[in-house]
């Protein structure tokens, strides 16, 4: 089988949710993990839930997992949470923005992915021909993202891998008059992060102000997701409006939801909030 082909066993699926847990299929395994937002009753019978294995115990060798347009490698000791399957629709949004830009402008869009994590948005953008700057403060996270890019046959694409504090990087880029056509921001901070790490209430507003100065005259969009705390989509909407309304276009917001396959009755799981500034490519 060719490397870029995908087997059914690789596909990620949310099978059920409720009772404080998620039931998921990934890499041929059925697994369960805690989820404090899933208060409701489960739909599947207990027998189906008892098929779940403990991922960290069952995973003895790496397996491939495809979430939306992106393939990942889940290694022993890794977690589905780190792959962020709840961001699938936003990756597809980024991919669509980049594809439309290439179609209209006949050139590669410049994409900045701040807090790049496992690389979902970076890979989705690169798949549509974008030149991407992927920024994360963790060297280990950058290595994983590079491995995921290679898995998606993107090792030789125009991706700049930057180990740096995303806020400081954005500030330097602004002073150097760098410009981007699409900007992705996912300020996810682990619970055990060191003191002084990114705090939404303190740092998000100023970061958006910095980002607004990085947009090119052909900019197509800014995609923001927040997957920690209890931030409201309305809060993100107001923050985005104060920085990006001046550029025209539309601003929308909503819940980040982890959902089952299309047509399924699996209860969607609230996983944060998002807001996007979108402008049609001239």
Candidates 218, 244, 197; CA nearest to 100 is: 218
**CB burial readout 90-113, b (16+ within 10 A) else e:** bbebbbebbbbbbeeeeebbbbbb
Q: Kindly give the confidence (pLDDT) of every residue in the chain, 282 residues in length, as a single tens digit, with 9 standing for 90 and above.
A: 334 445 667 899 999 999 999 999 998 899 999 999 999 999 999 999 999 998 888 888 999 999 999 999 999 988 999 999 999 999 999 999 999 999 999 999 999 999 999 999 999 999 999 999 999 999 999 999 999 999 999 988 899 999 999 999 999 999 999 999 999 999 976 554 565 689 999 999 999 999 999 999 999 999 999 997 789 999 999 999 999 999 999 999 999 999 999 889 999 999 999 999 999 765
Burial of 201 (0-12, 13-18, 19+ CB in 10 A): exposed
List of domains in the chain: 8-81 (2.60.40.1180), 86-278 (3.40.50.150)
Candidates 25, 23, 24, 27; CA nearest to 10 is: 27
The reported pLDDT for the residue numbered 257 is 97
The reported pLDDT for the residue numbered 28 is 86
213 secondary structure, DSSP code: T
The reported pLDDT for the residue numbered 4 is 45
265 half-sphere exposure, CB direction, 13 A CA radius: 4
CB 55 within 8 Å of CB 79: yes
Candidates 228, 219, 273; CA nearest to 249 is: 219
- The tokens for 229 are 């705390």
Torsion sign across C-alpha atoms 10, 11, 12, 16: negative
């Amino acid at each position: 089988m060719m490397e870029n082909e995908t087997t059914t066993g690789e596909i990620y699926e949310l099978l059920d949710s409720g009772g404080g847990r998620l039931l998921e299929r990934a890499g041929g395994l059925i697994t369960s993990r805690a989820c404090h937002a899933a208060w409701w009753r489960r739909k599947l019978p207990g027998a189906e839930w008892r098929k779940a294995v403990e991922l960290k115990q069952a995973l003895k060798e790496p397996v491939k997992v495809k979430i939306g347009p992106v393939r990942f490698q889940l290694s022993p000791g890794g977690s589905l949470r780190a792959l962020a399957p709840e961001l699938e629709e936003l990756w597809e949004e980024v991919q669509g923005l980049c594809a439309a830009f290439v179609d209209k402008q006949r050139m590669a869009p410049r994409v900045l992915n701040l807090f790049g994590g496992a690389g979902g948005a970076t890979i989705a953008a690169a798949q549509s021909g974008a030149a991407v700057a992927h920024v994360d403060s963790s060297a280990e996270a950058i290595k994983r993202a590079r491995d995921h890019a290679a898995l998606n046959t993107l090792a030789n694409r125009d991706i700049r891998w930057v180990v740096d504090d995303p806020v400081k990087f954005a500030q330097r880029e602004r002073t150097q008059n760098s410009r981007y056509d699409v900007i992705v921001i996912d300020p996810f901070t682990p619970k055990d992060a060191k003191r002084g790490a990114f705090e939404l209430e303190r740092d998000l507003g100023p970061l958006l102000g910095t980002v607004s100065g990085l947009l090119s005259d052909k900019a197509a969009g800014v995609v923001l997701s927040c997957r920690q705390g209890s931030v409201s989509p309305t809060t993100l909407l107001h923050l985005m409006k104060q920085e990006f309304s001046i550029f025209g276009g539309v601003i929308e917001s909503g819940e980040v939801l982890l959902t089952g396959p299309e047509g399924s009755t699996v209860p969607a799981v609230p996983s944060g909030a998002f807001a996007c500034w979108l402008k049609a490519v001239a």
